[in-house]
Each structure stands twice: as structure tokens, then as C-alpha cells.
Amino acid sequence: MTIKSRVKPDQSAAAPDARDFVGGATDGSKPTARGGVMRGKREQITHTMPPEMLVRLDRRAKALGITRAAYINLALSKALESGV
């Protein structure tokens, strides 16, 4: 048996095709003009808040039996409807 060294793949040619393939997947990250990322029909954003507020938010969401994201969406919808 002959010992052969491993053949290194040509990274320069394969990388753009792989990125295009992954980026074109239905669950791939697609940046938007506003800076978010599309996840299905929704745009994902990042938001920071004080830890105390997050604790209160989680408690309220749990009391209502909904997720944190659902509570945030509900609160924002109500605020936007009322003109806040």
C-alpha cells in the first residue's frame, strides 16, 4: 500500500459557491436594507435592555403564558396603536 498525502481542496474556487449555496437556502441569513436579517417572513433585530427590565418582561410573559418575543410584539403593537 502506498502512503499518499491528503489533497488540499482549492479553497479559492469553492468558497464563493458554498457561500452562495448557503445564502440561498430558505433559512439562510439575508441582510436587509435596515440592517436586520430575514427569518422566514420576519426580520430579526438585536436589542439591548437593562437586566432588571428583562427580568420583569420575562415574569410578565410567563404569567400570560406567552414567549418573551410574543410579549414584546404585543407590547409594541399596543404602543404603536395608541400613538406612544
Q: What is the pLDDT of residues 9-61, one digit of tens each?
A: 666 555 667 767 766 665 556 667 777 788 888 888 899 999 999 999 999 99
Query: Are 18 and 24 spatial neighbours (Cβ–Cβ below 8 Å)?
Result: no
Give me the pLDDT at residue 31, please.
Answer: 65
Structurally, at CATH architecture level, domain 47-84 sits in: Orthogonal Bundle (1.10)
Domain regions of the chain by residue span: 13-44, 47-84
